[in-house]
Amino acid sequence: NNVCFYGDCSYYCDMEHPLCGKPHLMEGSMAAYLPDVNLAKRLSWRNPWRRSYHKSKKAKWETDPSYCDHIQKTSPYKHSSRLLDVMDMTILDFLMGENVSCWGRGV
């Protein structure tokens, strides 16, 4: 009697890995979608701790012990609090168990 969802992607997005409520309530986070870059000019940076989403390929941060030192010296992270903000967001996503690329299909 739980409400469950599973995603439509190539990595852990199937009926064997659903996100389920207890029984019908589910905590989550919200992402705001920005307008097309042609309508709202902006700069974008990928999260340095993003997952590879490949079953046999690890992300660089999983294999390189000096990865964090390298990121701290890289723009735009070396001149602002942006790195701390990204780390906070990454930790929150991990604690919530979110996998935003796999959202989509209700069960």
Q: Which two tokens stand for residue 31?
A: 């992402």
What is the rounded distance in angstroms from the CA atom of residue 40 to the CA atom of residue 78?
Answer: 26
> Any known ligand binding at 59?
no
Contact 9, 53 (CB under 8 A): yes
What is the rounded distance in angstroms from the CA atom of residue 98 to the CA atom of residue 31?
Answer: 11
> Any known ligand binding at 34?
yes
> Any known ligand binding at 19?
no
> Any known ligand binding at 31?
yes
Region for residue 49 given its phi and psi (left: phi exceeds 0; alpha: psi -120 to 50; beta: otherwise): alpha
Q: What are phi and psi of 71, to 5 degrees?
A: -65, -40
- Residues making up the annotated binding site are 31-34
- Residues making up the annotated binding site for ATP are 31-34
